[in-house]
Structure 1
Amino acid sequence: MNLYFVRHGETEYNKSNFYYGKSDVSINEMGFVQAKKACEMLKNVNFNRAYISEMKRTKQTAKIILGEKKCDIIKDCRLNERNFGEFEGKDYDKIKKLYPENWKAFCEDWKDAVPPGGESFTQFYLKVKDFMDNILKINEDNILIVTHSGIIKSVYCYILDNNLDFFWKFSSKNGDITLIKYEYGNMYIDSISHV
C-alpha cells in the first residue's frame, strides 16, 4: 500500500507564523501554486480514495491535486491539526505576553502541557495513532491523505516506534509530498518531496 501524505498549500497564517490548528482558513495564492505543483507530481497516480481533515485548506488542496480523477474524498477529524486553544491566531511574542505561565509550561513540557482551551501534544498524537492503526487495515493500492504539518510529523513518529521525540527532527513544508509504503507488515518512509 502507498500512502501519499500531502501538507496543504500555504495560508496567510503560515506566512505570519501564527499558531493555528482549528482555525479554518483558506490557502493563499502561493498555496494554489503549491497544490498545482503537487498535482503535476502526482498526475500518474491513480488514487483509490482520499482522506482530508475537516479544514477547507486541505479540501482546497485535495481538489486541485485530484483534478478530474474520480476518487472519494473522506473527511476525518483525526486528521485535524492540533487545537491550540487560546493560542490560536497569535504569534510567539503575543502568546508569551498574554499567557506567560501557560507559555512557560508549554515550553518546559511540550508533550503534555495544554494551551488554555486546547489539547496537549500527547492527546493530539493519540488521534493520529488511531487513524494510522485503522488505515493499515485497508486493502488499497494508493491512498491520498491531505492534512497538516503536525499530523505528518506525528506520522513519522508513529513509523519510528511511536517515539514522539522525533517530532522535532523533521520538517514539513506547505505542499510537501511524503510517500509512505506499507509492505509485508513493515511501514517505511520511501520519499519526501518538496514542491
Structure 2
Amino acid sequence: MNLYFVRHGETECNKSNLYYGNLDVPISEIGFIQAKKDSKMLENISFNRAYVSKMKRAKQTAEIILDKKECSVTEDFRINERNFGAFEGKNYNEIKELYPKEWKVWCEDWKNAVPPNGESYMQFYGRIKDFMDSILQLKDDNILIVTHSGVIKSVYCYILDNNLDFFWKFNSKNGDITLIKYEYGNIYIDSICHV
C-alpha cells in the first residue's frame, strides 16, 4: 500500500507564522501554485481513494491534485490540524504576552498542556493514531491524504514506534509530498519531496 501524504498549499497565516490549526482559511496564490506542482508530480498515480481534512486549505489542495481523476474523497476530522484554542490566529510572541501562565505550562509540557479551549498534543495524537490504525486495515494500492504539518509529523512519530519526541525532528513544508509504504506488515517512510 502506498500512502501519499500531502501538506496543503501555503496560506497567508503560514506567511505570518501564526498558530491557526482550527481557523478555516484558504490557500494563497503561492499555495495554489504549490498544489498545481503537486498535481503534476502525482499525475500518473491512480488513487483508489482520498482522505482530506475538513479545513478549506486542505480541500482546495486536494481538488487541484485530483482534477480530472476518478477517486472517492472522504473528509475526515481525525486529520484536521491540532486545535490551538485561544492561541489561534496569534504568533509565538503574542501567545507569550497574552497568556503568560498558559505559555509557560505549554513550554514545560508540550505533550499534555491544553491551550484554553483547545486540545493537548496527546489528544491530537490520539486522533492521528486512530486514523492510521484504520487506514492500515485497507487493501488499496494508492491512497491520497491531504492534511497538515502537525498531522504529517505525528504520522512520522507513529511510524517510529509511537515515539512522540521525534515530532520536533522533522519538518513538513507547504506542498510537501511524503510517500509512506506499508508492505508485509511493515510501515516506513519511502520519500519526502519538496515542491
Q: CA deviation at 1:118?
A: 0.3
Once residues 139 and 92 of structure 1 are traced to their aligned partners in structure 2, the CA distance between those partners, rounded to angstroms, is 42
Q: Report the secondary structure of 1:51's partner residue.
A: strand
Q: TM-score, normalised by structure 2?
A: 0.99
Q: Are 1:181 and 2:181 matched, yes or no?
A: yes
Percent identity between the two aligned chains: 73
Deviations 1:63-87 (A, max 9, x none): 1001100111100000000000000
Q: Are 1:139 and 2:139 matched, yes or no?
A: yes
Residue type at the aligned position of 2:20: Y
Once residues 60 and 183 of structure 1 are traced to their aligned partners in structure 2, the CA distance between those partners, rounded to angstroms, is 30
Unmatched tracts of structure 1, length 5 or more: none
Give 2:23's aligned residue.
23
Residue type at the aligned position of 1:106: W
Q: Report the secondary structure of 1:192's partner residue.
A: strand
Give 1:120's aligned residue.
120
Q: CA deviation at 1:11?
A: 0.2
CA RMSD of aligned residues (A): 0.4
Unmatched tracts of structure 2, length 5 or more: none
Aligned residues: 195
Give 1:161's aligned residue.
161
Give 2:151's aligned residue.
151
Aligned positions of 1:7-46 closer than 5 A: 7-46=7-46
Aligned positions of 1:60-139 closer than 5 A: 60-139=60-139
Residue type at the aligned position of 1:120: S
Once residues 86 and 17 of structure 1 are traced to their aligned partners in structure 2, the CA distance between those partners, rounded to angstroms, is 16
Q: TM-score, normalised by structure 1?
A: 0.99
Q: CA deviation at 1:93?
A: 1.1
